[in-house]
Amino acid sequence: MIRIQRLTKRFDETHGIFDVSLHVTPGTIFGFIGPNGAGKSTTIRHLMGLLKPSEGKATINGFDCWQETEQVKRSVGYLPGEINYPQNMTGEEIIRLTRHLHETNPDRERHLRERFSFDEATKVRKMSKGMKQKLAIITCFMKDVPVYILDEPTSGLDPLMQERLIDWLIEEKQLGKAILMSSHHFPEMERTCDRAALIKDGRIIIEEDMEQLRQHSVKRYRVEFSTEAEAVRFAADSGERDGRHVEVTISTPTELNHLIRTLADFQIQSLASGTDELEHLFMQYYGEAT
Amino acid sequence: MLIRSMLKQNRSWILGYSVGTSVYLFFLAAIFPSIQETGLIEAKLESLPKELLDVFQIDASMAMDNVLNLLSSNYYGLIFYVLAVLFALTFASRLLAKPVDSGEIMLYMAAPISRVTYVIASFVVLLVAVGLFVGLNGLSLMAADLLFDLQIDYAVLWMLQLNGALMLLVLGVAAYVIASLFDDSSKSYMVTGGIFTFFLMVNIIQGVSEQFDWMSNFSFFSLFDASAIMREEYWGIHFIWLLGLLTIFSALSFFRFTRKDLTI
C-alpha cells in the first residue's frame, strides 16, 4: 500500500532525510516516531506529493507520489500535523468544501460528526486547537479510502476524544485500511500500532514489529524497602539507591525471576514499574533517557 | 468547485477594488461639467511646469476637453499604476504567497487536484477580478454619461479598459511568478513591491525630461499610455507586448509552481 524505498531529500549536507525505507501493508497501523526535526513530516510530505525526492521513491497503491499525485490523493486521507484552515471559514463550510473536493461517504461523515462533535458554526479563527483537530479528523476520515496518513493525530485532543480516536483507528485497521501515523504519544502507539520505526537526524535507526520492540525494551522497577539498611544491603548487588528506594533495570525474563527470588529475602514496602516500557526504549534512542 | 471556493474566499478584496474605483470614477465624471464650467482647473494646470505635467501624463491644453481626457491624466496615469501594483500584490499574496506560508493551501493540496489545476484556478480568479475591475469602471462611466450627457466616446473608453485589463493581468501574473519563488509571504511581498516600485520610478523619471525617454523601454507601465490611446497612437504594439508578457509569465508560473517543494 504505502512503500517508501531509499527515499532521500537533501536540504543541505546535514538536513533532510537519508535513505528512508518503509512499507505499510493493508490492515496495519505503522507508527512513525522521532524527536522534533527528525524528518517525520518531511517523509510524510513526500507521500502527499509536496516535496520532490532527491533520490529514491515513494509510492501509494503503486502510484508515484510525486509524478502521479492526483491518483495518489484520490486514495489517501490526510491529517496534517499543523491544522491551517482558512481563518474566515466556519467548520460547516470546511466540511462542505471537503465534500466537494474529495469523494466522501455520507454515512461516515454522519458517524464522525457524532463521535467528534463540535460547534460547526464557529469560524476557524475562533476555534481552539482541539476543535480544529476534531474538524481535521472528520475531514480526513470522511473519505472512505484504503490509506490514511496521520501526522500527530491526537495532538490537542482531550483524553476522551483521544480514546475515541484510538477506538476509531482500531476499527479502521480491522476494516483493512493501511495507516501511517506519526506520534509522540507512546501509550496510543502501543495500543494501535503493529509495527513502528524510529527516525532520528533524517535516518531510520530502528524498524520492528511492536511485539519485538516490547521484548527488546528494558523494564524499570522501583522497590521501596521497610528500612534504609535493607535498601543499602540490596543496592550493594544491584540497582541505584535513593534513601529507602532502589531502582532496578531488567532486560530479560531471567533477570526478572532472579529479582523476584532475591526480593523474597527482604522486607518490601512497595514495588512499582517505572517509565512506560516502549517510551523508555525510544527515549534511549532519542538519546535523552535519564 | 475549486474556483468557486477561491472566489468566495477572495470576494472582499475583488469587490473592494472594483467598487471603490468605480465609485471614484463615477463621482469624478459627475462633477466634470461643473469643473469644466468654472475653468479653474484648466487655468491651474496651465500654470504648472511642463515637467510636472509630463510626470503625471497631463496634457494641459486637452485635459478639460472631455471627461476621458480628464480621467486619462487624473486616473489612468499614476493613480492607475499604483492601484494596479496594489491589485497585483493582493492577488499574488492572497492566492499563493499567504496560503503557502500559512499552510492554508493544504486544504486544496490534500485533495485530488494537480498543481496545474490550482494555477489555472488562480488565473481564473484573476481574470474574474480584472473583468470586474475594468468592467465596473467602464460601466460606471457609461452610467455617468447617460445621466450627465458627458459625450464619452465608448470606443476609446473600452479601449482604455481593455489596455488596463491587460496591464492588470500582466502585473498579477508577474507577481504570482515572484510569489512562487519564495515560501515566506513577507519576502515575496517585499521583492515584488520593490520591483514594481522600481518600474514606477522609471516611469516617473522618464516623464521628467525628453533626455530620459529611453527609460520607458524598461517599464511595464509604458505599455499603458492613456494619452496615446486618446490620440489613437501605439495601442496595437502595446497590446502585442502585453499579450506576449502575459504568455511568458503564465508559462513561468506553471513551470515554477509545478516543480516547487512545498514545506507546508
A45 contacts B108? CB cut-off 8 A: no
If you compute the radius of gyration of chain B from its CA atoms, what whole number of angstroms results? 20
DSSP string, B84-151: HHHHHHHHHIIIIIHHHHHSTTHHHHTSS--HHHHHHHHHHHHHHHHHHHHHHHHHHHHHHHHHH---
State ipTM.
0.80
pLDDT at B224: 86
Contact B110 A80 (CB under 8 A): yes
Residue type, B87: F
Query: What pLDDT was estimated at residue A290?
Result: 40
Cβ contact (<8 Å) for B9 and A70?
no
Q: How many other C-beta atoms can be found within 10 angstroms of the C-beta atom of residue B195?
A: 15
Cell of A127: 476555534
CB proximity A101 to B under 8 Å: yes
Contacts of A100 in chain B (CB under 8 A): 1, 5
Give every CB contact of residue A186 below 8 A, 6+ residues apart in sequence.
A276, A278, A279, A282
A78 in contact with B, Cβ within 8 Å = yes
For residue range A185-201, what is the model confidence (pLDDT) as tens digits?
Answer: 777 888 899 999 999 89
CB contacts, 8 Å: B262 with chain A:
45, 50-51
Q: Which pLDDT score is estimated for A289?
A: 42
Interface touch A97/B102, C-beta < 8 Å: no
Name beta bridge partners: A247: A222, A240
- The Cα diameter of chain A in Å comes to 72
- Tell me the shortest Cα–Cα distance from A18 to chain B, in angstroms: 17
- Tell me which amino acid residue B95 is: L
Report the pLDDT averaged over residues A1-18: 92
C-beta neighbour count of A235 within 10 angstroms = 18
Q: What angle do CA A255, A259, A261 make, to 5 degrees?
A: 120
pLDDT surpasses 50 at A110 = yes
Chain B residue at shortest CA distance from A76: B110
Q: Tell me if chain B has a CB within 8 Å of the CB of A102.
A: yes
Q: What is the pLDDT of residues B117-163, one digit of tens each?
A: 999 999 999 999 999 999 999 999 999 999 998 888 999 999 999 99
Indicate the pLDDT class of residue A215, thresholds 50, 70 and 90. Answer: confident
Q: How far is CA B211 from CA B58, B78, B215, in A?
A: 18, 20, 9
Interface of B with A (CB under 8 A): 1-2, 5, 9, 102-104, 106-115, 259, 261-264
| Pairwise CB contact (< 8 Å): B109 & A48 | yes
Residue A288 has pLDDT above 60, yes or no: no
A123-155 pLDDT, tens digit per residue, is 999 999 999 999 999 999 999 999 999 999 998
- Chain A residues with CB inside 8 Å of B10's CB? none
CA distance A158 to chain B (A): 24
C-beta separation of B137 from B226 below 8 A? no
What is the pLDDT of chain A when averaged over all its residues? 90
Give the pLDDT of residue B64.
Answer: 63
Mean pLDDT of A6-18: 91
Across the A/B interface, how many CB contacts are shorter than 8 Å? Answer: 63
Q: What angle do CA A49, A51, A52 make, to 5 degrees?
A: 95
User: Higher confidence at residue B244 or residue B1?
Assistant: B244
Question: What are the chain A neighbours of B120 within 8 Å (beta carbons)?
Answer: none
Q: Which residues in chain A are closer than 8 Å to B103, comparing Cβ atoms?
A: 80, 82, 84
Tens digits of residue pLDDT in B64-96: 667 888 788 778 888 999 999 999 999 999 999
